[in-house]
Structure 1
Amino acid sequence: MSQNEAFSPARVVDRMIIQHVMAQWCHAVDRLDRQGMLAVFHDGATDSHGPYIGPVEGLVDWVLERHKAIPFSSHFIGNMLIDFASEDVAIVETYVRTIQQYPPEAKAQIAQFTGGASGAEGSYVDVFTSSRYLDRFERRDGQWRIAERTLIQDWKRLDEVKVMALQPKKGWILGKRDGNDESQIVRRQFGLDAAV
């Protein structure tokens, strides 16, 4: 595919849709939105996510269970290389950084995620990661979604929390992972949902 073809108006639209799907994944996983997570994948999609390898339905169940004890999670996407293998298939490599805070009782969840390290007993731990999503996107019935995902892990860092810096005052809006985050409330007010 020539550079002109790769950036034709139709391909620019495809690129924007793929970028939007990636942002939807981050929003859904950070809000623990089951339907939102599933919506970015095609039926029959698979994921190789380190500790979890298998169908995406199992991945979502694994995330929901593992994240129960995590009060805060942020997924940030950066560089995104989108190459079209054919009219309806794209190989997409996306840099992702995560920041998550784990309470002292979540040492098992940290160890599962790191391969063993979990921080000092009794301490809150902030986990920072740098990874890449390697996704095979497919357009089926006009919809771009992920057909296969591989998580490439580059590094992880654990920081023991010495001071809980956020001391909210009355009226501050705090992030929630129970379906009642302010972003979810506003989206519902305007009739927006997780549909890709």
Structure 2
Amino acid sequence: MSDSDQFSVARDTDRAEIQHRIHQFCRAVDRMELGELNEVFHPDAYDDHGVFKGTPAGFIEWARKRHVTIAFSSHHVSNIYIEFASENEAFAETYLMIWQSVTPSSSIMANSSDDESSFEMISSNRYVDRFTRRDGRWRIQTRTVVPGSAMRVSDDAAPKLADGFVRYTRDEHDVAEQLRLELGVKK
């Protein structure tokens, strides 16, 4: 497609939906609402997360098991570059930072210790995605995670917050989930 075909009101709508799917993926993982990933991927999609390669259903099961010992997960998306190959196919490259409280068994770092104490891990990555539109909806057809770097943060680096803050949880008791229920936007 020519450069002029990349930019139109219709393409702005397409970009917004693709960006929404990228953000929806991050929120689904961070909030442990993994069923939402069925809205992000086509059922026959392929995901390559390095340590996991397979279908969306397989990824959901893998993520559910991996995140059992991850107390905190936060994906931070920055640059999202989208190019349309055709009316119903697009390339998307997304830069992101991920901060997680992990244990050696849930860490993606090689050579983790046998000590199952949790630690903070920060990684920089890129998602390289092929999006396709079927039945009027954009979803991921293939995803490859490309790591840039990762680091283990010192265990004593994280100060404790003062009393009074709302507690972070990854379940239905979180303040965001309570507000979603109150507003009627939670499915």
**TM-score, scaled relative to structure 1:** 0.88
Q: Who is 2:110 aligned against?
A: 115
* Structure 1: gaps of 5 or more residues: none
Name the amino acid aligned to 2:95. Y
Q: Which residue of 2 aligns with 1:191?
A: 184
* Contact 1:97 1:128 (8 Å CA) reproduced: yes
Whole-angstrom CA distance in 1 between matches of 2:95 and 2:186: 25
Instruction: Give the equivalent residue in structure 1 for 2:39.
Output: 39
Give the match for residue 181 of structure 1: 174
2:126 corresponds in structure 1 to: 132
Equivalent residue, structure 2, for 1:64: 64
Deviation at 1:164, TM superposition (A): 4.6
Deviations 1:78-117 (A, max 9, x none): 1111011110011111011100112xxx22222xx11223
Name stretches of at least 5 consecutive residues in structure 2 with no aligned partner.
none
Partner of 1:154: 148
Deviation, structure 1 residue 3: 2.5
Shift of 1:165: 1.7
1:121 deviation in Å?
4.0
Matched, 1:12 2:12: yes
* Partner Cα distance (1:44, 1:125) in 2: 35
1:140–1:32: structure 2 CA closer, same or farther, 3 Å change rule?
Answer: same
Let me know the Cα RMSD of the aligned residues: 1.8
Structure 1: distance between partners of 2:157 and 2:130: 41
Q: How many residues align?
A: 187
Given that 1:47 and 1:150 are in contact with CA atoms closer than 8 Å, whether structure 2 keeps it comes out as yes
Distance 1:168 1:71, change over 3 A: farther
SS of the equivalent of 1:109 reads: coil
Equivalent-residue separation in structure 1 for 2:33 and 2:59 (angstroms): 13
Percentage of matched positions with identical amino acids: 36
TM-score normalised by length of structure 2? 0.92
Asked if the contact 1:123–1:160 (Cα under 8 Å) also holds between the matched residues in 2, the reply is no
Contact between 1:124 and 1:160, CA under 8 Å: does it hold in 2? no
CA distance in 2 between counterparts of 1:65 and 1:121 reads: 19
